[in-house]
Amino acid sequence: MADKIKTSQNKNLKNRFRFVILNDETFEEKFALTLTRTNVWLFFSITAFTLVFFTASAIIYTPLKYFIPGFGDYNYRSQMLQLEFKTDSLRREMQGREVWLQNVMDIAAGRVDTSKPLKTNTSPTDKSDIKLSDLSNEEQELRQQVEDEDNFSLSAGAKKDDGTVDQVKQMHPMKPVEGSVTEEYNAKGEHFGIDVAAKADEPVKAMLDGKVISAAFTLETGYVITIQHATDLVSVYKHNSRLFKRTGDAVKAGEVIAIVGSTGELSSGPHLHFEIWYAGQSLNPRDYIVF
Ligand SMILES: [Zn+2]
């Protein structure tokens, strides 16, 4: 069976055909060509190969390739770059001349203050063109605000003053001692509190809840007790004859913390020197407590 197919294929390949062109009227044979399948196959193969070969050669070795889209020549590209550089240089040169000409025209017309330097062909990044004074009002306000906030925080108490008055008043601080004020608050005179003259052995009370942060004897001001209250508020009680609290003790508003005395070199008679501090700023106790 397989042999049969093979022999028929061989036969087909070896069959010879005749390609004839006849005169239609006389049937005279004008052209005749003997063909086999092998011949025909060879003929088309060679033709196709030749066609491809010549087309490729034409594209590779002739300027025809420049008509192919996307094909660029290296030399052309470098030439284009050089041209671009030249154009740019020329443009700058032109601008410079324009400025020069403008200067000359200004001088000729007498429009120039000759004491000032003339305009130059400056680059856009020249810093002299930026005017720092041309700030919007909002910008200036913001800068001022930031500068103020940058100041050391001790001044913060003074600025918050109005708010502070309300805030401390709302806490309803108590009168620390019964008596009459003999010396007023005077921050400029470095008297950061008030002096309240009282009877001897009068109890001294904490003005608000808080914690004792200092309870000690000093040579100048005798027995001094200092209490830290909520929200940066501190009260100081000086010249006591004795103290009932120690550093770290918690105290309630109105709780007796000391006894009025006349201790310390700066005291002349029984009285309480009483100070209130808020965020590092001394306050006038009269603003918050009625004596
Ligand atoms: Zn005093």
Characterize 192-205 residue by residue with b for buried, 16 or more Cβ atoms within 10 angstroms of its Cβ, and e for exposed: bbbbbbbeeebbbb
Within 8 A by CB and 6+ apart from 261, the residues are 200, 222, 223, 239, 240, 241, 242, 267, 270
Give the pair of three-digit tokens for residue 119.
Answer: 């305009």
Distance from C-alpha of 168 to C-alpha of 53, rounded to nearest angstrom: 102
Under the phi-then-psi rule, with left for phi > 0, alpha for psi from -120 to 50, and beta for the rest, what region is 35?
beta
Q: Compute the distance from residue 237 Cα to the ligand 1 centre, in Å.
A: 10
Q: Quick check: pTM over 0.75?
A: no
- In this prediction, the residues of the chain whose per-residue pLDDT falls under 50 are 152-160
| Structure confidence at residue 160 (pLDDT) | 46
Q: Which long-range contacts (CB under 8 A, 24 or more apart) does 243-248 make?
A: 243/215, 245/212, 245/215, 246/212, 246/215, 247/212, 247/213, 247/214, 247/215, 247/216, 248/211, 248/212
Q: Compute the distance from residue 171 Cα to the ligand 1 centre, in Å.
A: 24
The amino acid at residue 170 is: Q
| Structure confidence at residue 3 (pLDDT) | 55
The helix/strand/coil state of 275 is strand
| Structure confidence at residue 150 (pLDDT) | 53
Q: Compute the distance from residue 273 Cα to the ligand 1 centre, in Å.
A: 4
Q: Compute the distance from residue 260 Cα to the ligand 1 centre, in Å.
A: 13
| Structure confidence at residue 17 (pLDDT) | 82
| Structure confidence at residue 191 (pLDDT) | 92
Q: Compute the distance from residue 283 Cα to the ligand 1 centre, in Å.
A: 14
Q: What is the DSSP letter of 63?
A: G
- Helices 2-14 & 37-61 angle (0-180, nearest 10): 70
Alpha helices in the chain (DSSP H): 2-14, 37-61, 74-109, 137-150, 156-159, 161-170
Neighbours of 172 (CB within 10 A): 11
Phi, psi of 28 (to 5 degrees): -70, 135
Q: Are 196 and 279 in contact (CB under 8 A)?
A: no
Phi, psi of 254 (to 5 degrees): 85, -5
Q: Compute the distance from residue 272 Cα to the ligand 1 centre, in Å.
A: 7
Q: Compute the distance from residue 222 Cα to the ligand 1 centre, in Å.
A: 12
Q: 162-287 has which CATH code?
A: 2.70.70.10
The helix/strand/coil state of 274 is strand
Sequence ranges of the domains in the chain: 2-60, 162-287
| Structure confidence at residue 256 (pLDDT) | 95
Q: Compute the distance from residue 194 Cα to the ligand 1 centre, in Å.
A: 6
Distance from C-alpha of 175 to C-alpha of 77, rounded to nearest angstrom: 93
